Amino acid sequence: MVKPMTAMHGYVTYFEYVKGSNKGQSHVGDLITNPFGLGHVDPNYTASTVEENKTAAASATEVELGWCPVVPGSIAFQIGADKYFDANGVLYKGTFTSKVFTAEQVGSDGRLEGVAGHYEVNPGAATAVGTVVYGYPGSKSVSGAIYDGAQKAKITFTTTPFAAETTFAISYIYNNIAIMQNDIPQVTVRAKGIYLAAKARRIAIKKFVA
């Protein structure tokens, strides 16, 4: 319901919803919605899919991933003409032969965290060029070589592929279903207001008599 102003001056308050996390193409403060319109829609913001732009310095050998734990076998990126993927903690350059997803499974204690979801990748003739730490901070029950509870996710190249500072896109999936993540996409509600000042407008209406 729209109410008329009862004075020459007034103040209208409203709520605005913005993103509270940096994830992929979304950044803290990006508008989701307010009474005046919608912000940019990012379908991956609350999804498990992550698409990040990374900038690596010349001769860098490590690239950190912002969201973890990363689903094993889900990493894919390209530097120049070279394509990269991961399989069971190893980084490969080339093309894999096959890739099959195995969903989360209940462990012996009845918890879904018992066996995390992952891709079983056959690297075929691709060349091993590094390692991957998938990260598992705050894990309740899973341990082992693939998940390292003491580290966040990162890629380590055996030999740097960067001859100069390079920006590239990397996509991967982080497990947002069964296990504790290092971060969760957040929505922030902000109370805002608009000052209103009415302006006088005058018009005369004359009756014309023929």
pLDDT by position in tens, the chain (length 210): 667 777 788 888 899 999 998 898 899 989 999 998 999 888 888 889 999 999 999 999 999 998 888 889 999 999 999 999 999 999 999 999 999 998 877 767 676 655 677 899 999 999 999 999 888 644 444 444 445 556 778 999 999 999 899 999 999 998 887 656 667 888 999 999 988 888 888 888 888 887
Shared domain for 54 and 40, answered yes or no, is: no
Shared domain for 83 and 110, answered yes or no, is: yes
Shared domain for 207 and 140, answered yes or no, is: no
Q: Would you state the pLDDT for residue 180?
A: 64
Shared domain for 160 and 189, answered yes or no, is: no
Q: Rounded to whole angstroms, how far apart are CA atoms 26 and 124?
A: 35
CB contact set of 209 (below 8 Å; sequence gap of 6+): none
**ω into 123 cis (within 30 of 0):** no
Which domain, by its residues, includes 97?
A: 47-181
Q: How many helices (H) and strands (E) does the chain have?
A: 0, 14
Shared domain for 124 and 60, answered yes or no, is: yes
The pTM (predicted TM-score) of the whole model is 0.76
Shared domain for 33 and 106, answered yes or no, is: no
Shared domain for 85 and 113, answered yes or no, is: yes
Shared domain for 67 and 89, answered yes or no, is: yes
Q: What's the domain count of the chain?
A: 2
Shared domain for 162 and 206, answered yes or no, is: no
Shared domain for 120 and 163, answered yes or no, is: yes
Q: Would you state the pLDDT for residue 56?
A: 94
Shared domain for 159 and 114, answered yes or no, is: yes
